Amino acid sequence: MSLPHPTTDQISLPIVLAVLGDPTRLAIVRYLASKEGVPLNCSKFLDLASKTNLSYHLAKLREAGVTRSEAVGTSRLITLRRDDLDKRFPGLLDSVIAAAGTDPALPAVGVSEVEVSA
């Protein structure tokens, strides 16, 4: 099943800013940026919200063109659309992520992750 995503030219600044104005969605973007280029299963964000609420936030990010969601079996892999956002709005994502990185009011993602040493 293919999910709809806006093209680069369809990404709208007011919509991106509105989507990033939510603390949960901003925390998701901050975490995706820290794992740059690595597709993450949506379960990585369960610390932030219930499954239903998380689905809503991930859909809003996808519909705004901030993330790409790929259905793989029963999972969804989420990536940040950094190249598309940088092409459309140069420097915007870096500025938002830099500001979010120092905001203690944002919820933490991945706090329940356990590191496994080899």
What is residue 1's predicted lDDT score, i.e. its pLDDT? 60
Taking 50 as the pLDDT cut, the residues of the chain under it are 113-118
- As a whole number of angstroms, the distance between CA 7 and CA 43 comes to 26
Angle at 50 between CA 96 and CA 29, to 5 degrees: 15
Residues 39 and 67 sit within 8 Å (Cβ to Cβ): no
**Which token pair is 99?**
């500001």
Position 65 scores a pLDDT of 96
Strands (E), the chain: 40-41, 67-72, 75-80
pLDDT of residue 78: 93
Contact in structure between 91 and 18 (CB atoms under 8 Å) = no
